[in-house]
Amino acid sequence: MQGGVEIWRGGVNTWECDEMGHMNVRFYVVRAVEGLAALAALLGMTGAYGADANATLLVREQHIRFLREAHAGAALHMVGGVVEMGESEARLIQLLIHSGTGEIAATFQTVVAHVTPRDGLAFPWSDRTRKAAEALAMEVPEKARSRSVALDPVVSEASLARAEALGLLRIGLGVIAPQDCDVFGRMRPEIFISRVSDGIGALVGPLRKIVADSADPPPARTGGAVLEYRLIQLDWPRAGDRFELRSGLVGADARTMRLVHWMVDPDSGKAWGTSEAVAITFDLDARKAVPVSDEARAAMLQGAVAGLAL
């Protein structure tokens, strides 16, 4: 038993799977956000995501570990609880589980703020919510703890000017559409990771080729998979706001590559959000990571960006 209370149940649709043959990262976050609505209700905040809400939960940060692939037709469910609660913020834990086997597909440590719905102004939790949180108390299991991505507080230096100075690659450019926003007009939490997913090939395609070409034997077909992610939301774009994604390689080891992505406003230059990801080159036939040889690692690190961080 994993502990926690059930907050979501469903499955994987074919159209939610990408060219790697498994559910795309954006839909993991979609499930996590749906689970947050259930947790809010259990905390006494029924209707927190409705248009007439008096208070809601705003996602400040997410730490995600992807542990087991989820393919089309897979049955999944999610359990969750409260790790800790401050004056107006809380750290929640969510486990997405393969219903048939009990194996954890992904874990989420989500930091949320208790805010006014439209202005996003934080204010203290009610006594009723604090009491409800005690009944939902849950520890972070070992598989959900940070492994390769630090969760220390950061002061981000992300900006368009800084991205230009570092020579970060543009992997995305676009505009936030009305359907990308929640009922309060803010960009939905899954949009950041989904836009990174859409554009990531421009950055990692050449890196995957370096890894595959030096493997013995070289895999016939390769793709990529993310093992761990940290996303920090610095501001919330609204419909009509433009965005630009700038990314770079930070490091590599015998198995993984470490990437940082900045979502910035190309008009003002400010940062909407930052993220760090640990990813692998994925053998699509063997369904496992392709080892990174010393030669490949040295070649990859020639393109690493010094000074790049969240």
Query: Which stretch of DSSP H or E encloses residue 166?
Result: helix 160-166
Q: Which amino acid is at 44?
A: G
pLDDT at position 1 is 44
Q: Are 96 and 108 in contact (CB under 8 A)?
A: yes
Judged against a pLDDT cut of 80, whether residue 193 lies above it is answered with yes
CATH number of 1-145: 3.10.129.10
Q: Are 249 and 259 in contact (CB under 8 A)?
A: yes
CB atoms closer than 10 angstroms to residue 215:
17
Task: Supply the pLDDT for residue 3.
Answer: 82
Task: Pick 147-310's CATH classification: 3.80.30.20, 3.10.129.10, 3.30.2320.30, 3.40.1390.10.
Answer: 3.10.129.10
CA quadruple 133, 137, 140, 141: dihedral sign: negative
Of the pLDDT bands very low, low, confident and very high (cuts 50, 70, 90), residue 158 is: very high
Token pair for 97: 């589980």
- SS3 for 145? coil
CA distance 193 to 233: 11
Is residue 261 within a helix (H) or strand (E), and if so which, with residue range?
strand 257-264
In the numeric block, which tokens belong to residue 141? 């299991």
Q: Give the position of tokens 């795309």.
A: 24
Residues of the chain with CATH 3.10.129.10: 1-145, 147-310
- pTM of the predicted structure, to 2 decimals: 0.96
Share of the chain above pLDDT 90, in %: 99
In this structure, how many other beta carbons lie within 10 angstroms of the beta carbon of residue 77? 18
Cis ω for the linkage preceding 217 (within 30 of 0)? yes
Mean predicted lDDT score pLDDT of the chain: 96
2 vs 192 pLDDT, higher one: 192
Backbone angles phi, psi at 209, to 5 degrees: -65, -40
- Whole-number pLDDT of residue 290: 96
